Amino acid sequence: MRLFLILLLLQINLFANNDFSLGVKGGLVFSGYSYPYMFEEYTSQGLKIGGLGGLFLEKKIKNKFYLQSEILYAVKGTDFVNLSYIELPLFIKYKIKDKIGIAFGPYIAYSILVSETGNHPFSFSALNNSIDFGLNLDISTTISKKLEIGVRPQLGFVTVLKTDFFTKDGLPTGQSGYNNIGFSFYLGYRFFSK
């Protein structure tokens, strides 16, 4: 949690002067998990449709390069679990003709809520890590001076959840770890732009 707060303060410090854009962002998150150790019989878990919303700051660095920071509330998971996060992405963004933006960068997220949903043949042993870390790719286009839409694939590197697997008779069969993976569609609105 301390690391999360330190990174939040560093992001705020990056935008200490008035030469930046401020806006809100909201959209849909389509998420699941990558689980390299999962047993074959349990690999067809459904995609979770969640949401995201929050604030973004964008600052021009040089020519067509920008630094973009966000603080988002995001709901991820799959058909058997909901994970709610406060997420801090940081991007280096390149704008093509001021209309199309391509951005890449890391994110760090802190889990604030975990809840099981539906029927499943396993039980959760623990939230392995309340901190998630990974990479985002962001592709956006400007609709007007104040509006933009975008899509964002995301890949988590941290095992955020561990699961114990059981047979239909209740006998333990093993354990698996889950990493967040997904993509989102969003709409952004700029309050002002410098």
Domain positions in the chain: 2-10+19-192
* pLDDT, tens only, 131-169: 889 999 999 999 998 999 999 999 988 877 766 655 555
pLDDT at 126 over 60: no
Q: Are 85 and 113 in contact (CB under 8 A)?
A: no
The pLDDT value recorded for residue 3 is 63
pLDDT at 184 over 80: yes
Query: What is the assigned CATH class of domain 2-10+19-192?
Result: mainly beta
**The two structure tokens encoding residue 49:** 């449709």
Calculate mean pLDDT across residues 83-111: 92
Which of 86, 46, 62, 53 is CA-nearest to residue 185? 53
> What one-letter code names the amino acid at 116?
E
Query: Rounded mean pLDDT of the chain?
Result: 79
**Extended strands (E) in the chain:** 21-34, 48-62, 65-78, 81-96, 100-116, 122-126, 131-142, 147-156, 161-166, 172-192
pLDDT band at 90, cuts 50/70/90? very high
pLDDT at 98 over 60: yes
For the chain, the farthest-separated pair of C-alpha atoms sits apart, in whole angstroms, at 63
